Each structure stands twice: as structure tokens, then as C-alpha cells.
A = this chain, B = another copy of it.
Amino acid sequence: MREERFLRTTSYVVLGLLSFGRELTGYELKQWADESIAFFFASPAMSQIYTELDRLEAAGFVRGRDASRGADRSRCAYRLTARGTRELARWVDHAPVAAPALKHTVALRLFLGHVADPARLRAILDEHLERTRATLAALEKVRADLGDDETWRFPALVADWGERYLAGEADAVAAAARRVRRLPRR
């Protein structure tokens, strides 16, 4: 019995962005990933996107088309093939449901607060809170741009989820910061 293997998750990030129908270059893929996927999944490095596109083309999941601007400005735009679409759908439907992987260094540092300077701890939480609010503001803008167009129905769902998540995170951090502030000096 053949084991059905899946590609790495980054492959599906690339296939996924191409599944909305637009033909995209590696550069455009990176830009778009940074302002969409990045809110809930690590956006791959530029170099990895190019590597990934080569691999996916070799496997027949995407096809590149020369889209150079002028003589010397080389440029390659990719689109999904039928095989690529099938492979992506197979992953979305049938990959095992994995727990989200989180690496929250701010939480780790608060966990270790007994070795820290309380003033620094407060500053770290404040900085994290500010960043969280900025991320939320950016996501709200993205959400507004998605509107209620059917094409962006699922991204909009995820954006709403993300807004709730970030708002909750901001509340929780603020609460933790208040409690740290009430702590006695070392």
C-alpha cells in the first residue's frame, strides 16, 4: 500500500496564493504573502519562494511563463496547473488536522519573570501590546479591502477570526501588564 505523501506546508502556501487565479511572479507572491498569509502563518523568505517555484514546476504543479518587461528585465509569471489545483485540494481536504505551532518568546520571558527586572518586563509587555495593536490595525485594513466579494469569502472569514484573536491577545497582554505593574519592586 503506497503511502500518499504531502509536500511541505510552504508548497501549499505558494500553490494556495496561486489558486485565486492570478498569474504571479516570485516577487509578487512574496509581497502578497506578507500582507495576507503572514497574519497566521510564517511568510517564506524570498529565496525560498524561488526554490519552491522551481520544485513545483518540476513536479508539474505550476507552469511558468516568460513575462519579461523589455529586453533585459527578466521576469517569470506562474500559474497553477490542473494537477496543482488537485494537489492543493487534496491537501486542504485530507491532511491531518495539526495543532497550530506557536513560538511566543514574550510569553516565555514573562514565564521567567522571576529572573527579570520588573521594569524591563513591563517595557517588554508594553512593546508587545503596541505591536499587537499595530498588527490588528493592519489586519483591519486588509479586511476592509476584502469587502464581501465572493472571491474573498474565505480570506475574509480568516481575517475576521484573526481580528478576534488579536483583539483577545491585546486584552490578555494588557491584563498581564497591569498585574506585573502591581508587583512589588525587586
Chain A residues packing against B (C-beta within 8 Å): 9, 12-13, 16, 19-20, 36-37, 40-42, 85, 88-89, 91-95, 97-117, 120-121, 124, 127-128, 131, 135, 151, 153-155, 157-158, 160-162, 164-165, 168-169, 171-173, 175-176, 179-180, 183
Contacts and interface: CB of A to CB of B under 8 A. Distances in A.
Contacts of A169: 165, 168
Given A113-B157, A114-B153, A154-B113, A100 B106 contact: yes
A94 B121 CA distance: 10
Contact of A108 (B9, B111, B116, B176): B9
B41 A105 contact: yes
Contacts of A104: 40-41, 100-101
19 contacts: A9-B103, A9-B108, A12-B112, A19-B115, A36-B111, A37-B108, A37-B111, A41-B102, A89-B117, A95-B105, A95-B109, A100-B102, A101-B104, A107-B162, A157-B176, A158-B176, A160-B176, A161-B173, A165-B169
